[in-house]
Amino acid sequence: MLREVHERDGYPLNWPGHPETWLTPPSLVASWVAELDGRVAGHVGLSRSGPGDAAPGLWSARTGVGADAAAVVNRLFVAPWARGHGIGALLIARAAAEARERRLHPVLDVAASDTAAAALYERLGWRLLATVEQRWGPEQKVAVRCYAAAA
């Protein structure tokens, strides 16, 4: 399913050499899948803030709370065949609820080129913190939109 999303939507932007490792980074706290009609239809993860995450630092600077009080919603994708059923919104809500249960504030970042994802986050009430440029490789700079869940 991840390969299908990548081929159709370009997410993840760079195809991981080991998709299973990409889905389960060392900072992962929890992850969930959604099913529709008995098939896996989507995925989301929740991770601790890591050195490459811009959103926790931006949220920290705005709130005066340490970046370690943030949790990063990540690895969100929905199978193309399952879109239009609210699965993305449900997965985001589940990850955000888990963050709050852990007394962490949910944040996320998304490649600025992923306008559909940004529109979803904004529709769900996530606040844009900033758009920043990140270096994702020796010759790759990516504009990233950073969001925080509403308080």
Q: What is the predicted pLDDT for the residue at 137?
A: 85
Contact partners, residue 11, CB within 8 Å, separation at least 6: 5, 77, 111, 114, 117
| Residue of 114, 116, 45, 110 lying closest to 75 (CA atoms) | 45
**What would the pLDDT profile of 77-104 be if each residue is shown by its tens digit?**
999 999 999 999 999 999 999 999 999 9
Q: What is the predicted pLDDT for the residue at 50?
A: 83
Helix (H, G, I), strand (E, B), or coil: what is residue 49?
A: coil
C-beta of residue 126 within 8 angstroms of C-beta of residue 90: no
C-beta of residue 131 within 8 angstroms of C-beta of residue 146: yes
Q: What is the predicted pLDDT for the residue at 76?
A: 98
DSSP type of residue 126: P
Q: Can you point out the beta strands (E) in the chain?
A: 28-36, 39-48, 70-78, 105-111, 127-137, 140-148
| Residue of 143, 150, 45 lying closest to 91 (CA atoms) | 45
pTM of the model: 0.94
- Of 102-111, 118-127, 132-141, the one with minimum mean pLDDT is 132-141
Dihedral (Cα; 107, 50, 21, 17), 10-degree rounding: 100
**What would the pLDDT profile of 13-67 be if each residue is shown by its tens digit?**
999 999 999 999 999 999 999 999 999 999 999 999 987 899 999 999 999 999 9
Q: What is the predicted pLDDT for the residue at 151?
A: 83
Q: What is the predicted pLDDT for the residue at 136?
A: 87
Q: Are strands 39-48 and 28-36 parallel, antiparallel or unpaired?
A: antiparallel
Q: What is the predicted pLDDT for the residue at 46?
A: 98
* Token pair recorded at residue 23: 């889905």
